[in-house]
Structure 1
Amino acid sequence: MTSDHPINTTGSRQRQTRFAALQKWVSRAFARDLSCLIVPGQDVALAHGLNVSATGMRVSASPRDANVLLIVGGLSEKMGEVATVLYAQMPRPRTILMLGGKTPSSFPDADVSAGLSQKALADAVGRLKRALAEGAFATSAEDFDASVLHVKIEYVCPMHPEVVEDEPGSCPKCGMDLVAREAGEQTPEGGHDHEHRHDHEQQCQDHDHDDSNEHQQEHAHENAATEYTCPMHPEIVRDEPGSCPRENA
């Protein structure tokens, strides 16, 4: 069935035009107000002679307030995991600026890479601003994901580290409440936990030893033969009740 009235596409084109204009305005505003989170930290950047504020970027102490993750130098595996968590906490749109190294394997590629110098940093920030002003970020980016973001929690007995459960509860050996920890984390053999566990085990052993001694004493007392003696003549001892032969003499 055909319609006598042509489809009106004017309204749709107008909405698209307004959206494109709004997106362009947001991109330019975003490029003018860059706030960076420095990894491993601002002290490391200063140690390399980098003055981040001189480039026009604000330095943020929280990933929630940053739109640029500035990575200075190479990162260890552990620090790479920390940076991954920080990047996941940053609001969109967000970018990665890498100086003098490679982004961690758990990261997406850096948006801009440069050498580890003040001049290279200033040039990289300029390129980043131009790219952002042109709307060079995805408006429907997929959620960033990495294995380090999925932390499994398990529950372990502080006195019996071999007791590990997937849910909270009590230790079947001693009845203590299980303590939460990150899966794969090992209970240290030294330090307070080890000393506490050792003291607990020693107390249990001492208690068992005391119970054993008391039991032996009670058992010996029960098995001991009953004797009868004269209060006036203690040398008179008999196995059965009776009277002292000297008193009757």
Structure 2
Amino acid sequence: MAIICREHGLLFLMAPRTGCTAIGSVLMEQLGGEWLPNDDVMDEKGLYVVQKKHCTLDQLLEFKLLSEAQRREFVTFTTVRNPFDSLVSLYFKMHKGYQDELENPDSWVYKVPGYADDLKLIRNMTFDQWINRFYPDLPVHLESKSLSGARNLAKRLMGKRSEAEDTFVRGVDHVMRFEHLQEDFSRVLTSAGVRNPPVIPMVNTTQARAEKDYRAFYTPKTRRKVEVYKEGVLREFGYAF
């Protein structure tokens, strides 16, 4: 989903695992934010078409939840995070944090195609096993060499599945970094004319991870896979292992 602050001309796209819940709470409680859409948009099978919490600008436009004219009236912004770090947090959310959702047949995990099945599989997997299952093995000649076409290769091997970082940042005016979130948040709000930007609280942190450095979870093989499959995000935002 997105949060729209009409008075301040702001539209925030909530990219997963980037501090979006904390930012959303500030926008809702202090800057008159509203959900966009107000409710999840579902298909005839009861599966998500547009999620209330996590949706992209493309989805808002495609499903007429926002017009092109309206989009131009707002400063659109989202957040990005180092993929190496983000994947570790995703693993712990799925491995520990979301497992109880499987007990509730009405839970959101059953409304995302294949997600409940993924949760059942990951409960018995290490981080290394999960990465190796989710990302297909690379051809041997690419294991140790750089490749300018790595992104195209990744799309072929993954069936051209969109990556969250690519879809959420597409078309926005500002991209904040998870790594210095408050600084970037203040900058975006100031540029939109908001005086005294509020402080972002600590919300929805990944407790099971215990703040362990993400580098400790990777082997040379899984590191190389992420370098290839997330090549576009790493290059565009200057992230590295």
TM-score of the superposition, structure 1-length normalised?
0.25
Decide which structure has greater helix share. 2
TM-score of the superposition, structure 2-length normalised?
0.25
Higher relative contact order (CA 8 A, sep 6+): 2
